[in-house]
C-alpha cells in the first residue's frame, strides 16, 4: 500500500452542532437528517426506532446513528443526498440526545431486496463518545422470516445472536414502526460486522 | 471479491481501550463478524456541490454576530485519497471543533471557558477533482475532560467523511504538531501504531501559510483502497 489508513477517532460528545445541527436546534444547515425517505418516495412508509444501551444497560444519550439503504426496488440511490428532497434519499442520520427516551428514529420506506442479498435490510453505523472506531451493523425485518432464512449474511451469524439484528414490526397510530435496540455489550450484544 | 480492501485494523485503536475509560462500557466486547462486502458496502451517499454553502468552509466568518472571532486564524489544506494514492473527488468533509479558549458551542459542554459570540466552530467543504479540500478556522484550544486526574485534550479538529462507499466511512481528529498533550492523551495514544498516530498530526506548512493572514496546515485523509483496481496514474 502506498499510503497508510488515517486512524479513526471518536466522534466525541459534542458533534451535534456540526453533524446533526437541525435536529438539536443549532443554527447550521444539515446535509443529512433522520428522514431517509420523504413523503413522495415510492414504497411502504415506515419508521425505525430504537435505543442504544451501554454495557451496564444505561441508555446512551450521545450516540449518533447513520443508516444507508436501498429504495423500494432494492436499488441504492446514485442521486446526491438532498435534505430538501421529498422523495427517496437513502441516507439518514440521527443523534440520541433529543428524544425524551434517548431513542433514535428514521422516517423511511421499507427497502427492497438488493441484487446480491436475499432479504431486505438497512445498513447501520453506530458512533459515540467511547468508541474510537465506529461499528457497522444491519437491521433486518421480523415480518420477512422466509427471506431472512435465505440471507447469507444473516445466516452466517450464530443462531443465538441473529435476533439482535431483527427489528420488530409494531402498528402505531402514526403508522408502521420497526423497533430495534442496539446493545453495545452483554448477553444481548448486537452483532457488529467487519465490512 | 469485496469492493474495498480489508480495513487495516493495525491503523486503528482497539474497540475497548482501557486508557480511554468510556470505551470500557461502550466498545463492543466481541470482535466484529467479517462479511464479504458487496453492492451494499460498495455504494454510498454522494452530495451535490450545493450542499456546501458559501461560508461553510470559513469558520472564521460563518458564526459571526458582531465581529471577528478571537484566536489564531489558520487555514487547513488537505487531500482525501485512498491507500493506493487515488484522489477522492466530490467528498464532503464535515468539521467541528472547540473555540480558541477550548470551549464547544454544544450545550452539554460545561467547561468554564468563554464562548465566543462570533465563532460556532462547525463547517464543511468538498474535495475538488484532485481530492483537495481546504477550510479556514481558528486554532482550537485545549480543554479538560474527566477521563483521569488533570486530563486535557490536545488541540484538535474533528473531521467526518463518507468517502466513495459506506464501508469507507471515517470520523477522525486532526492534531497539531508539537503539542505536548499528545504524549498524555489516551484517545490519541490508544492507536498503538506510532506511524499511524503520526497520520493524525497535521503538518505546518509555510507554503500554505497566507502572508499577513493565517498559518497554514496540511492534513491528508487516507481511506481504504479498492480491490482489483490498480492505481491509474
Residue with cell 439484528: A165
**CB-based contacts of B179, cutoff 8 Å, min separation 6:** B142, B154, B155
At residue A1, the pLDDT reads 56
- Active-site residues of B, by number, are 104, 143, 153, 156, 158
Smallest CA–CA distance, residue A14 to chain B, in Å, is 6
Instruction: Specify if A190 maps to a domain.
Output: no
Cβ contact A180:A166 at 8 Å? yes
Cβ contact B221:B93 at 8 Å? yes
CATH number at residue A165: 2.60.130.10
Instruction: Specify if A170 maps to a domain.
Output: yes
- Does the predicted interface ipTM exceed a cut of 0.95? yes
Contacts of B40 in chain A (CB under 8 A): 68, 70, 76, 114, 116-117, 123
**CB-based contacts of A187, cutoff 8 Å, min separation 6:** none
A147-151, B34-38, B77-81, B220-224: least confident range: B34-38
Does pTM surpass 0.90? yes
Domain hosting A79: range is: 16-183
The Cα A178–Cα A50 span in angstroms is 8
Phi then psi for residue A108, to 5 deg, are: -150, -165
The Cα A185–Cα B181 span in angstroms is 31
Query: A90 and B26: CB-CB below 8 Å?
Result: no
**CB-based contacts of B10, cutoff 8 Å, min separation 6:** B192, B193, B196
Task: Using a CB–CB cutoff of 8 Å, tell me whether A185 touches chain B.
Answer: yes
- Tens-digit pLDDT profile for residues A155-184: 999 999 999 999 999 999 999 999 999 999
Please tell me which residue of chain A has the smallest CA distance to B46.
A80
- Tens-digit pLDDT profile for residues B153-168: 999 999 999 999 999 9
Cβ contact A153:A139 at 8 Å? no
At residue B233, the pLDDT reads 40
SS3 label, residue B201: strand
Cβ contact B67:B118 at 8 Å? yes
Order the strands of the B122-126 sheet from edge to edge. Answer: B122-126, B92-97, B156-161, B170-175
Number of independent structural domains in chain A: 1
Question: Which CATH code is given to the segment(s) B9-223?
Answer: 2.60.130.10
The Cα A37–Cα B84 span in angstroms is 35
Asked if the model's pLDDT at residue A95 lies above 80, the reply is yes
Q: How far apart are the first and last CA of chain A?
A: 19
Looking at the DSSP bridge assignments, the partners of residue B126 are B92
Percent of chain B with pLDDT over 90: 89
Is residue B204 classed exposed, middle or buried when 0-12, 13-18 and 19+ CB atoms within 10 A define those classes? middle
Domain chopping of chain B, boundaries: 9-223
Asked if the model's pLDDT at residue A188 lies above 90, the reply is yes
At residue B38, the pLDDT reads 75
Amino acid at each position: 500500500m502506498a499510503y497508510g489508513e488515517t486512524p479513526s477517532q471518536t466522534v466525541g460528545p459534542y458533534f451535534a452542532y456540526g453533524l446533526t445541527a437541525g435536529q438539536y436546534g443549532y443554527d447550521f444547515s444539515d446535509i443529512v437528517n433522520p428522514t431517509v425517505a420523504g413523503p413522495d418516495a415510492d414504497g411502504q412508509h415506515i419508521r425505525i426506532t430504537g435505543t442504544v444501551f451501554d454495557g451496564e444497560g444505561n441508555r446512551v444519550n450521545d450516540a449518533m446513528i447513520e443508516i444507508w439503504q436501498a429504495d423500494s426496488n432494492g436499488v441504492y440511490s446514485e442521486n446526491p443526498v438532498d435534505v430538501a428532497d421529498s422523495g427517496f434519499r437513502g441516507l439518514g442520520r440521527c443523534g440520541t440526545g433529543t428524544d425524551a427516551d434517548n431513542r433514535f428514529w428514521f422516517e423511511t420506506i421499507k427497502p427492497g431486496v438488493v441484487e446480491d442479498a436475499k432479504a431486505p435490510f438497512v445498513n447501520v453505523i453506530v458512533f459515540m463518545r467511547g468508541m474510537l472506531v465506529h461499528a457497522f451493523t444491519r437491521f433486518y425485518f421480523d415480518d420477512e422470516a422466509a427471506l431472512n432464512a435465505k440471507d447469507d449474511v444473516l445466516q452466517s451469524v450464530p443462531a443465538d445472536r441473529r435476533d439482535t439484528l431483527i427489528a420488530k414490526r409494531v402498528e402505531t397510530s402514526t403508522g408502521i414502526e420497526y423497533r430495534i435496540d442496539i446493545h453495545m455489550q452483554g448477553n444481548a450484544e448486537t452483532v457488529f460486522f467487519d465490512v | 471479491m469485496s469492493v474495498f480492501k480489508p480495513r487495516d485494523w493495525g491503523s486503528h485503536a482497539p474497540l475497548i481501550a482501557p486508557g480511554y475509560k468510556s470505551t470500557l462500557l461502550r466498545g463492543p466486547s466481541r470482535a466484529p463478524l467479517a462479511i464479504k462486502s458487496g453492492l451494499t458496502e460498495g455504494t454510498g451517499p454522494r452530495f451535490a456541490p450545493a450542499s456546501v454553502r458559501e461560508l461553510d468552509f470559513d469558520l472564521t466568518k460563518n458564526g459571526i454576530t458582531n465581529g471577528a472571532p478571537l484566536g489564531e486564524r489558520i487555514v487547513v489544506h488537505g487531500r482525501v485519497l485512498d491507500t493506493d494514492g487515488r484522489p477522492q473527488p466530490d467528498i464532503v468533509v464535515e468539521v467541528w471543533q472547540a473555540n480558541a479558549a477550548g470551549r464547544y458551542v454544544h450545550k452539554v459542554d460545561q467547561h468554564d471557558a468563554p464562548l465566543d459570540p462570533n465563532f460556532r466552530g462547525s463547517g464543511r467543504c468538498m474535495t475538488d477533482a484532485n481530492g483537495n479540500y481546504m477550510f479556514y478556522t481558528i486554532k482550537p484550544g485545549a480543554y479538560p475532560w474527566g477521563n483521569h486526574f488533570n486530563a486535557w485534550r490536545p488541540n484538535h479538529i474533528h473531521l467526518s467523511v463518507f468517502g466513495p462507499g459506506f464501508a469507507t466511512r471515517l470520523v477522525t481528529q486532526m492534531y497539531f504538531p508539537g503539542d505536548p498533550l499528545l504524549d498524555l492523551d489516551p484517545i490519541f495514544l490508544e492507536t498503538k501504531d506510532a506511524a499511524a498516530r503520526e497520520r493524525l498530526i497535521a503538518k505546518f506548512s509555510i507554503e500554505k501559510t497566507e502572508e499577513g493572514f493565517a498559518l497554514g496546515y496540511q492534513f491528508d485523509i487516507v481511506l481504504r483502497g479498492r480491490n482489483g483496481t490498480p492505481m491509474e496514474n
